[in-house]
Structures are given as C-alpha cells and as structure tokens.
Amino acid sequence: MIRFENVTKRYADGTTAVDNLSFEVAEGELVTLVGPSGCGKTTTMKMVNRLIEPTGGRIYVDGDDISATDPVELRRRIGYVIQQVGLFPHKTVLDNTATVPHLLGVRRATARARAAELLDLVGLDPSVYGGRYPEQLSGGQRQRVGVARALAADPPVLLMDEPFGAVDPVVRERLQNEFLALQKSVRKTVLFVTHDIEEAVRLGDRIAVYGQGTIEQFDAPAAVLGAPATPSVADFVGADRGLRRLSVTPVEPGDLEQPPVVHLDDPLPATLPGWAVVLDREGNPHGWISAGQAATARGAVREHARRMEARLPVGASLKQAFATMLQYDAGWIAVTDEENGGRFLGVLTPAGLHEALRRSTAADARDIPRDEVELETVSGR
Ligand code: ADP
Ligand code: MG
C-alpha cells in the first residue's frame, strides 16, 4: 500500500535525513517507525503526503507514484495526526472533526453526523464534547479529536507522528489501547512514528528500527526484541527486551498443560494423581481439588472444591499471564476460550510460560544459537 524505493532526502544544508530507504507497508498493516530523535522518522513520514519532497528515489501509495499525483488529491487519501494536533481554536469539536469532509463537498449535516459517529468511535460522547472548544479539552481528549478528524474523510492511509507523545503515561497507554481497538475495526494502513520502543512494540504489526536515516531492522516486534539484527538495535531495544517480549507474545493452546478434570456435580473420585481442575456445568473453570481431599472425604466434588480465580483468555499476553500469577500468588492459571463462552482449555504454569517465551524468540526460529544473541547484547558492541 505504501512503498519506498531507494528514497533519499538531503536537506539544503547538506544533512542527509533519509538515506536510500526501501520498505513496504501492506494494506491494513500498522508499521511503527522507531528510533532516537533526529534519525529521520518525521522526514520519512512527511514525504508520504508530500509535505517534503525526496531528493532521490520513488514512493508509491496504492501503486501510484506520488511524485506524479496532485498533492491535494493525494492528501485526501491520507489522514495525518501529529503531536500538536492543530485544531481550529474557534471551532467546536464537532465542527473540527467535520472540517475535511465538509471541504470535500460533503453536505454540512452529513459531515456533522459522520463526525459525531467518529467522536463516539474515539471515546468522546458527541453530546458531551461535540459542542466544546479545543481549549476546554484535556491533552488526551484533544489527541482523540485529532484521530477522529484524520479518520473523517475515511482515508485508506493514516500517518501518525508521535500522536500520543505529549500526554502523560497513563493517558498514553489508554490512548494506545483505544487506538489498537479502533484499528481492529477500521483496518487502515498506518505509518506510526514514535521514539518510544515500548509504544512501537505495543502498536506495531511490524516495526522499523531506525539508525541514522536508514532502517536497521524491519520485523515483527517479537523478532526485533528476540533477535536484534545489529548491536545498535540491541542497544536501542534495551536490556529489558526480554521483559518487553512478554507483552508481545500471546498464550497459545500449545503452551497449556492438561491436568485431570472433574465437574462440580461429579462424585468425589476415589483416586487422583496430585490434583484436578474443577469445572462447572458450562465447562467454565471453577477451582481445584487435591488428591488428599479426594482420598479422605465423601460426597460431591462441589462440597470440597476450592475456588480459584486466576484465569486468562487464550491469546492474552505472557505479560498478563505473569501479572495474573503474581496477583493471585498462583502456581497455575486456568486458560479459557472466550469465543466459546469461557470454556476451559488447560492450565498455564510457570514452566509453560517459560517455554512460551523461548518459543517466541525469533532467535530460535532462525536457528541462531541463543547464547550468541545474549552475548552480543551483554558485550554491548
Ligand atoms: P526525527 O523525526 O526522527 O526526530 P527528522 O526527520 O525530523 O527526525 O530529522 C532528521 C534529520 O534531518 C535531523 O538531523 C534534523 O536536524 C534534520 N532536518 C530536519 N528538517 C530539516 C530541515 N528543514 N533542514 C535541515 N535539516 C533538517
Ligand atoms: Mg520527528
């Protein structure tokens, strides 16, 4: 959907901001560009909507060479969200959001109706916020309006340049989560610039890690964290990249153990190897029962089962799994299938979590000996 072919940008003063860059963003993909300040991220982005013209190479949007496309026409296809949102101070939130469609000739009433829908979509109740002016909003709310406005003309492509950079960490995380949920439904092709590796791995389907005007690594977050391609990428993703990888690796059915299972209404089994998971009538996890109890007591499982609240849907991140284990001080977590009414799938143990983390390392997938990767990071070359 967006393709860079040997793109270079040299500014008049001789600064090479972008150096022979080639990469491609697939339709519906969210790619984060991450790197330290001054590495050329904003320059890369502004070349896509022709706010900056490259000095060499070609850029294609949806197959069209953009140097041959009218910039105004091009920008209709591209939503743009920046840190300083640039809302019109004298216009209401609703009118700010409706601006672009209205300019494009959509009837005012239609544009405003669509704007209200979009405000709702980004978590701002239009009946509450629609009539407010930008100065009456918090920083996070202004950023939401910025996202709504960028989506108003329903462009297939979205460029976002540190859109959540100016809000505090708590609001930022909320905005990130909301944006991810939004992206699931709108499926835009997104280029998202950030200097925050945490944000890059959380949001990106793939991330491009910048060096000076070049991409050092372009890969899935787990791969970048698991196997940094160069020492400078390793440096940038940091020593705690192992921890970060927890947040980008999902719990999969193959990670689960299958202990014996009994149901609440069953009579107590005479023998049990160790312990068993107890399920309710619907097949949802209820708790557990130990072999000792089963051997000495009588009656139904219901009378002896212990409650166990630690549970997680399959597909949740290993980080969530780890947090849940700590929260409940639990040696295992019941993993459920939320798409099937919370049906029990198996249990995740610390050993399973460890295995899952190993599985996730691209180092394993690529047959790079793990030790080599670790050593490179440790020696910090
Ligand atoms: P980033 O967004 O990653 O912080 P930029 O793309 O803004 O980086 O800048 C990349 C490099 O180009 C920096 O060294 C910056 O100083 C330089 N640069 C940016 N804009 C201009 C300009 N208009 N003229 C000269 N140099 C510029
Ligand atoms: Mg920038």
Most confidently predicted of 81-90, 120-129, 230-239: 120-129
* Residue ranges around ligand 1 (CB below 6 Å): 11, 13, 15, 17, 35, 37-43
Going by their DSSP bridges, the two strands 306-307 and 285-290 should be labelled as antiparallel
> What atom in ligand 1 is closest to the CA of residue 15?
26
d(CA 307, CA 279): 10
> What atom in ligand 1 is closest to the CA of residue 9?
12
Q: Which helix (H) or strand (E) holds 357?
A: helix 350-360
Q: Find the mean pLDDT for residues 246-257.
A: 89
Own/partner pairs for 175-179, CB < 8 Å, 24+ apart? 175/140, 175/143, 175/144, 176/202, 176/203, 178/122, 178/123, 178/144, 179/147, 179/203
Output the CA–CA distances (angstroms, integers) from residue 314 to 250, 253, 254, in the order listed.
Answer: 8, 7, 10
> What atom in ligand 1 is closest to the CA of residue 16?
12
Going by their DSSP bridges, the two strands 261-263 and 275-279 should be labelled as parallel
Tokens at 311, concatenated: 């549970």
Tokens at 185, concatenated: 């439904």
Q: Find the mean pLDDT for residues 96-122.
A: 87
User: If you ran DSSP here, which 8-state letter would residue 166 be given?
Assistant: T
CB proximity list for 75: less than 8 A, separation 6 or greater: 49, 50
Give ∠ CA 27-24-74 in degrees, rounded to 5. 65
Confirm or reject CATH 3.30.420.10 for domain 2-246, answering yes or no.
no
**pLDDT at res. 364:** 42
DSSP string, 197-224: HHHHHHH-SEEEEESSSSEEEEE-HHHH
Rounded percentage of the chain residues whose pLDDT exceeds 90? 50
For residue 344, pLDDT beyond 90: yes
Q: For a ligand 1 pocket test, name from 11, 51, 215 the mutation site with the most ligand atoms within 8 angstroms of its C-beta.
A: 11
**What is the tens place of the pLDDT at every residue in 262-304?**
999 998 887 877 889 999 999 999 999 988 777 777 888 898 8
Nearest CA to ligand 1 atom 11: 17
Residue 293 backbone dihedrals phi, psi, to 5 degrees: -60, -45
The reply to whether domains 2-246 and 253-355 share a CATH topology is no
Give the burial string for 256-278 (b: 16+ CB within 10 Å, else e).
beebeebbbebebeeebeebbbb
The residue ranges of every structural domain in the chain are 2-246, 253-355
CB proximity list for 45: less than 8 A, separation 6 or greater: 33, 159, 161, 191, 193
Q: For a ligand 1 pocket test, name from 42, 162, 212 the mutation site with the most ligand atoms within 8 angstroms of its C-beta.
A: 42
Q: Ligand 1 centre and the CA of 184: distance in Å? A: 32
**What is the tens place of the pLDDT at every residue in 2-50?**
999 999 999 999 999 999 999 999 999 999 999 988 999 999 999 999 9
For residue 375, pLDDT beyond 60: no
**pLDDT at res. 99:** 87
pLDDT class for 361, splitting at 50, 70, 90?
low
DSSP string, 226-283: HS-SSHHHHHHH-TTHHHHHHHH-B--GGG-B---EEETTSBPPS--SSEEEEE-TTS
The CATH number of the domain covering residues in 253-355: 3.10.580.10
Q: Ligand 2 centre and the CA of 34: distance in Å? A: 10
Q: Ligand 1 centre and the CA of 193: distance in Å? A: 14
Q: For a ligand 1 pocket test, name from 7, 39, 52, 210 the mutation site with the most ligand atoms within 8 angstroms of its C-beta.
A: 39
Most confidently predicted of 31-35, 220-224, 236-240: 31-35
pLDDT class for 362, splitting at 50, 70, 90?
very low
3-state SS class at 334 = strand
User: If you ran DSSP here, which 8-state letter would residue 305 be given?
Assistant: P
**What is the tens place of the pLDDT at every residue in 191-212?**
999 999 989 999 999 999 999 9
